[in-house]
Structure 1
Amino acid sequence: MSLPTSHPPQAEPVEAGTPRTPPPPQAEICPPIDRYEIQRELGHGGMGTVYLALDTYLRREVAVKVLNRQHIGTAGRPFLLAEARAAARLSHPNVVMVFDVGEQDDLPFIVMEYVPGQTLAQAKPTRIDEVVRIGRQICAALRHAHAKGLVHRDVKPHNVLVSPEGVAKLMDFGLAWALDAQIDPDDSFVGTLSYVAPEQAAGGPITHAADLYAFGVLLYELATGTLPFSGSPMQLLLQHVQEMPPPPRSRNPHVPPPLAELIMHLLQKDPAERPCSAADVGHLLGVLGKLNRMASLFEIAR
């Protein structure tokens, strides 16, 4: 099954940006930024607004993320600059690339690769083989980021862009810090509650294992069509910290047992009990993909 490329009639696509949220009151029209001519707004999310722009030097389309004016200050600027520095260290086919960073009129901005497409939240695959294929690509992005000493901290379908060709790209490293970074996160909770790792919810140290837990939630959602936990924010926090979700096959009996086992392995409460690395998870998904293809061939031959 190819992923759908048409957009919902009530919404514009969100390309190489952050999850869609309602526009802020009295949203500002962005003037030209340095050498980048703003074409149109692509979406709002997190701390910034993303625009489609033309790089007048290289004559190519780019996505420009500008920090919302109300977030500028001691907290906002370090967040955006940390995002740029983190993402600029990454060069991988499954990561949205960062080209430039700067400030104009006290507005920090990041220039990113423009990738037409939909978020994984908009274009959810419905076949297990597609879930496995997309999952392998996300694992490849995480493997690359983790090798650079980065933790994404907010892995979820809204932060995965899927191109019309079916290539998945992890985006919005705005919540990523280098493990050796000098910037300390503020006291507010960072991350999306539905995908938050137990140690992250409890305010403990965050390592690569937190990304693997969030990836497990993402796989659970794609494979079963529902999130592992639901409820109020406080209920979600408690469930992530204290409870194991229902087995994936109890919600979708078509989930292959090995995939269900891997998902539950990723969702272990103790980080030490999860898979060791994104590379290991990607390898297991590769094996699952081959087994699924073999099963399909046997089914055809019957």
Structure 2
Amino acid sequence: MVIRLEDRFQVVKLLGQGGFGRVLLVRDRRTDVHVAAKVMKGPVTIATRQRFVREVKQLERYSAVGQVIPVLEKFLEAKRPFFTMPLAKGNLEQWAGRLSAPQVAVAMLRVMEALAAVHADGGFHRDIKPGNLFVLEKGETVVGDFGLGNNPHVTRNFTRKAQGTFAYMAPELLAADPAHFTFACDVYSAGASWYHLVTGKGPAIAGGPLDPRRVKPNADAWTSTWIGAMTRRDPTQRPTAEQAAAAIRQRIRPSTVPAPRPAGNASASTAVRDALAVGAVFGVLALIIAAAAK
């Protein structure tokens, strides 16, 4: 039984840390493979251990969602609980303002697909921001850090308490009324993150709607329109995560979205062309990330 992280893993370096955990680059002594380990931070109490366990359970619950970072192994009975994840190249905050509109759209499609799945299960992420959107080896984006997440299937004490990172929080949460926390809050945070990725600048805490063209006049009009819609001050006027995902999907892969009228399947050549186009975007994103990491 692993009692401590060091019993099995060699710590290489600190990758990052937040309020509830530290993420370390570690080498598995059994396999000689490098992975990321998230270790509980702060005093280990019954309450803090339960909170950490809750995050792991949520990640495992969403394991079938390819757009959510998976748990490789968990060590929840260790003196200081931890779990391992695939090693990411970094997070999207590191490349904010440096990616093309299509590259950002591909990344945001995966974010919105992840949120759509989480929301369909009754859960919330509650801290969507570029720093929690990770880029894996092949350039694909995954949502991580469910430390503030909540899911009624995972915890009995389901809370809608306002939590998150202020710059990306929906304006209705500033009222500190738990009833204001809805799925639309995650959508706002995703829109604010999209704004940051396009402009290279974090959003203002004052709230939306956000328009990247005020900072970057040549920003793509379609992108700006959707960022504005997702960051509307009225949460009832924001699109759902599924609606946003469908719009982005249609924008970058039109043949994969059902037409409004009956139609046959796309030809093989069309499907291959679409797959190559999206694959090329992932490939370019991976190359940019690899170059930046050197």
TM-score relative to the length of structure 1: 0.72
Number of aligned positions between the proteins: 249
What residue number does 1:273 align with?
A: 237
Pairwise CA distance, 1:164: 4.3
The residue correspondences of 1:27-176 to structure 2 (distance < 5 A) are 32-33=4-5, 36-43=8-15, 44-55=17-28, 60-68=33-41, 70-91=42-63, 92-104=65-77, 106-109=79-82, 111-124=83-96, 125-176=98-149
Structure 1 unmatched runs, 5+:
1-29, 230-235, 292-302
The residue that corresponds to 1:183 in the other structure is 157
Matched AA of 1:42: L
Separation in 1, partners of 2:3, 2:22: 13
Cα 1:97–1:248 shift into 2, 3 Å:
same
Distance in 1 (CA, whole Å) between partners of 2:244 and 2:229 is 10
Percent of matched pairs sharing the same residue: 27
Q: RMSD of the alignment, in Å? A: 3.0
Structure 1 residues 245-277: Cα deviation after superposition (integer angstroms, max 9, x where no partner): 5532222222232221211111112221110x2
Describe the shift of the 1:138–1:274 C-alpha distance in structure 2 as closer, same or farther (beyond 3 A). same
Counterpart of 2:23 in 1: which secondary structure? strand
Matching of residue 207 in structure 1 with residue 170 in structure 2: no
Where 1:101 maps in the other structure, the secondary structure is strand
**For each residue in 1:106-147, what CA deviation from the matched residue of structure 2 results, as whole angstroms up to 9, or x when unmatched?**
3222x2322230110112343111111111111122122222
State the match for 2:249 in structure 1.
Answer: 286
State the AA in 1 paired with 2:8: Y
Whether the aligned pair in 2 keeps the contact of 1:119 and 1:162 (CA below 8 Å) is yes
TM-score using structure 2 length: 0.74
What SS does structure 1 have at the residue aligned with 2:236? helix
* Conservation of the 8 A alpha-carbon contact between 1:34 and 1:104: no
Q: Which residue of 2 aligns with 1:248?
A: 212
8 Å contact kept, 2:209–2:232: no
- Verify the 8 A CA contact 2:199 2:215 in the aligned structure 1: yes
Larger relative helix fraction: 2
Aligned partners of 2:210 and 2:231 also within 8 Å = no
Q: Deviations over 1:148-201 (max 9, x none)?
A: 3221100001001113432101111111010453235597x6210110112333
**Which stretches in structure 2 are left out of the alignment for 5+ residues?**
255-294
